[in-house]
Amino acid sequence: MKRLIFTMHFEVPDDQFVDNIETNLNTKKQFLENHNQLLHCKQLYAGGLGCDFVFVNKYLTYYDEMKSKYPFLTTYNIINFYKIYLMYKFSTKYDEILYLDFDVIPNTNENFFDVWDLSKGIAVLNNNERVLPIEKTTESSQTIRSPNSKYYNTQAMLLNHGLSSECDVINTGIIGANKEHLYKLAYFNQFDQDMIKMTQLKFDTSVFPKKIVDYFGYDNETLFGFKLKQNNVPVQWLDEKWHYFFDRELFIPKDTKFIHAINKRFDIVWRNIYD
């Protein structure tokens, strides 16, 4: 059984930040200041498991190809599609793959692949509890990147294909998958058609009100949630121990395995894992 853990990080030019500019600039600063520790902690974890580790730090070839085919995609969109693309690329060599966003910090020696039997399904977190009912959703309660917008965007895609609207909003910051389920997911098999459909849905208010549709986009997590349902892919939901969403509450439980530092407060993370 060949296993891989990989992560990626790129220096994106400031002028390519089209939204949330202040947040993006802070993220860039925090990644720069904590780069070595963020890379080393993942290398250390992979080494302890005896599996291969890959750090991807180049994206421009993929970016240029995607931008030429789909000029409406932002750099953020393309980079997040890239991590899914890389899972397929690496699956030609590896049986099981664990992807970790660069802001994910392992805080355990336990073997992810032993705890999560990937033959049972793709292992990801859902953010369903962060979704607001439509009647409670306002412009100030969502962004184009929020779980809310991705959830209803996924529903719109499912309904458009004549499928049940029952779905989950996926977080792809941590993904565990084997090649069998990646093949079944068929993420890129109809990508051209999916991009056309996502574009059409950005202007379609026949099902969802304008306040919801205005936040539809081209998010990798929207498409991931859609593909899970469209292709009936088995899934395992990561619990809070294995995907701890470190965001507004500045607290990290002691038994946390993987810390996803959404807030980029790496100073707090290092204090917690090294104390």
Q: Tell me the per-residue pLDDT of 24-43, one tens digit each, with 9 for 90 and over.
A: 788 889 999 999 999 999 99
Model confidence pLDDT, tens digit, residues 207-253: 999 999 999 999 999 999 999 999 999 999 999 999 999 998 899 99
pLDDT of residue 24: 74
pLDDT of residue 144: 86
DSSP 3-state of 74: coil
Q: Rounded to whole angstroms, what are the CA distances from 259 to 105, 136, 220, 246, 265?
A: 5, 30, 21, 7, 11
pLDDT of residue 25: 80
In degrees and rounded to multiples of 5, residue 54 shows phi and psi of -130, 130
Residues 6+ apart with CB under 8 A from 170: 124, 125, 126, 127, 150, 221, 224, 225, 228
pLDDT of residue 188: 99
CA distance 46 to 186: 27
CA distance 90 to 88: 5
Number of domains in the chain: 1
Which residue ranges of the chain lie beneath pLDDT 50? none
Other C-beta atoms within 10 Å of 50: how many? 8
CATH of the domain at 98: 3.90.550.10
pLDDT of residue 17: 57
Domain range for 116 is 3-274
CA distance 38 to 28: 13
